Amino acid sequence: MIQPPYLKKNDTITIVAPAGKINSAYITNAAEHIDRWGFRTKVGDHVADAHYGLAGADDHRRADLQAAIDDPKTAAILCARGGYGCCRIVDWVDFSPLLDSPKWLIGFSDITVLHARLQRVGLQSIHGLMPNRFPITTDNVESAESLRQALTGKLQGYTIPAHPLNKPGTARGVLQGGNLSILASMAATPDDIVPDGAILFIEETSERPYTIDRMMNNLQRSGKLRRVAGVVVGQFTNIKKDAIMPPSRNAYKLLSPYLNHLAVPVCYGFPAGHGKPNYALYLGREVLLEVSGKRDTTTGKTSKAETRLYYT
C-alpha cells in the first residue's frame, strides 16, 4: 500500500463533506484546531450545503471530493462527518490522481466506503476524528492529538488494558475495516473487503442486537472471518433494545461467539469508533497485534494483561 507523505508545517488540509450535512460551526472549530497545529485549512465549496440529511446534492459532494483529490496544494482530505452518502458518489470519483500524488484521507463511520475504495486502489488512509467531533474545550482532546500524531508520522501504536473477553495471541497483517454496517453494505460490491491475512477492525453505533448478529452472521457465512489473521473490536456504542435477541447492551457478548472460536487473537474494547476517545488508526498499513491475556475479573488487575497494536 502506498503511504502518503506526512504533513509538514503550513501544509493544507482540505475539508469536504461527502456524506451527511454538518453545522458550519463544527467546520470553524475544526479549522481553528488545524491552524493551531501549524497547518492551513481549505474548505470545499459545498460543505455548507444541505439536501435533506445529506451535505448537498450528489454531484456537489462528489465535485468537492474530486477537487480536493486533484488539488496539488492539498496534503490531506478531512471528511466533515459520516452519516450517509458516500456510497452514492464513490463510483463517480476518480481516485487515480492519488497514485501520482498521494494524500491522506481522514474519517470514519460512513467514510468506511472511501477507505475501502482507497485500499482497493492501493493507498493507506486514516480512520480518525472528523470536524463534527473535534473538541470544543478540553473534551475529546486525546482523539485530536492522536490524529495530529498520525498526520505528522509520530503515531507508532497503542497499548491498552486487556478486556475480559480477549482471546490471546499474536498476529501481523494489514489493518482494514471500519464501521460494521458499512462493511456489510459493501458485500458483493467492488469495494467488498478481502481480509486474507488481514487484521480486521470493526466498530458500530446505534444498532439493535439482532442487526449486529445478522451482520456478524454474514461475515461468518461468507467465509471472511476464517480468512483474517486477527480482529480488533472497537467501540460499540448506544446499542438499542429489541425483542428478537436476548436483552443486552453489551455488544461484545454478541460478537464473541463469532470471534472467539477463531484461531486468531481478538482484542475487545479498542478505543476507536463513535465513542471517546476515538484514536486514529492507519488503514492499509501492516500492524502487529499482541493480545497478552485477559483481565483478572476478580481483582481487576491488568498489569500483566494488555493489548499492543503497533505499526511495523
> Which positions are catalytic?
109, 203, 274
Strands 286-291, 306-311: pairing is: antiparallel
Answer yes or no: are the C-beta atoms of 186 and 116 closer than 8 Å.
yes
C-alpha to C-alpha distances, 87 to 48, 83, 105, 191, 260, nearest whole angstrom:
20, 11, 16, 10, 31
C-alpha to C-alpha distances, 269 to 196, 272, 277, 293, 309, nearest whole angstrom:
23, 8, 11, 14, 13
By C-alpha distance, which of 221, 220, 235, 296 is closest to 267?
Answer: 235
DSSP letter, residue 88: G
Strand partners, 174: 286
